[in-house]
Structure 1
Amino acid sequence: MPKSKKHNTLGQRLAKWMLKILLYFLGITLGWVLLYKFINPPITYLMVQRGFERKADGKSFKIDKQWLSFDELSNNLKKAAIAGEDANFMQHNGFDFEAMQKAFKKNQKSKKLRGGSTISQQTAKNVFLWPGRSYIRKGFEAYFTFLIELCWSKNRILEVYLNVIEMGDGVYGAEKACQKYYGKSASSLSKAQAALLIAVLPNPRKWSPAKPTNYLSHRQYLILRNMRNLGKIEF
Structure 2
Amino acid sequence: MAKKRKKSKQRSSGYSLRRIVMRAILVIVLLPLVLTVAYKPSFVHPVSTLMIRDLVFAHGYARSWVPFDEIAPALVQSVLMSEDGRFCAHHGVDWDAVNTVIDGALDGERPRGASTIAMQTVKNLFLWSSRSYLRKGLEVPLALFADAVWSKRRLMEIYLNIAEWGPGIYGIEAASYYYYGISASRLSRRQAAYLAVALPNPNVRSPVKPSRGLTRLARLAERRAHQSGAYIKCLYE
Give the TM-score taking structure 1 as reference length: 0.79
Alpha-carbon spacing, 1:197–1:25, altered in 2? closer, same or farther (3 Å)? closer
Alignment match, 1:10:
none
Query: CA offsets, 1:7-52, max 9 Å, x none?
Result: xxxxxx9xxx8xx9687667544321111112111x3222233566
Is 1:40 paired with 2:81? no
Tell me, in whole angstroms, the C-alpha distance in 1 between the residues paired with 2:205 and 2:88: 28
Query: CA offsets, 1:60-102, max 9 Å, x none?
Result: 7131111101111111111111110000101110111222344
Tell me, in whole angstroms, the C-alpha distance in 2 between the residues paired with 1:226 and 1:76: 10
Other structure's SS at 1:167 match: strand
Alignment match, 2:144:
146
Other structure's SS at 2:165 match: strand
Alignment match, 1:84:
82
Alpha-carbon spacing, 1:61–1:29, altered in 2? closer, same or farther (3 Å)? closer
Stretch moving more, 142-151 or 24-33: 24-33
Other structure's SS at 2:93 match: coil
Tell me, in whole angstroms, the C-alpha distance in 2 between the residues paired with 1:169 and 1:185: 19
Structure 1 runs not aligned, ≥5 long: 1-12
Question: What's the CA shift for 1:118?
Answer: 0.4
Other structure's SS at 2:130 match: coil
Say what the alpha-carbon RMSD is for the aligned residues: 2.6
Tell me, in whole angstroms, the C-alpha distance in 2 between the residues paired with 1:138 and 1:37: 23
Other structure's SS at 1:65 match: coil
| Identity of matched residues, % | 37
Alignment match, 2:135:
137
Residues 58-77 of structure 1 mapped to structure 2, 5 A cutoff: 61-77=59-75
Query: CA offsets, 1:142-174, max 9 Å, x none?
Result: 121111111100000000000001100110111
Residues 137-216 of structure 1 mapped to structure 2, 5 A cutoff: 137-216=135-214
Query: CA offsets, 1:165-192, max 9 Å, x none?
Result: 1100110111111101111011111111
Structure 2 runs not aligned, ≥5 long: 1-14
Tell me, in whole angstroms, the C-alpha distance in 2 between the residues paired with 1:130 and 1:89: 23
Tell me, in whole angstroms, the C-alpha distance in 1 between the residues paired with 2:154 and 2:102: 29
Q: Which amino acid aligns with 1:35?
A: A
Alignment match, 2:10:
none
Tell me, in whole angstroms, the C-alpha distance in 2 between the residues paired with 1:123 and 1:154: 12
Give the ranges of 4+ consecutive aligned residues of structure 1 lying more than 6 Å apart after TM superposition: 22-26
Tell me, in whole angstroms, the C-alpha distance in 1 between the residues paired with 2:226 and 2:104: 25
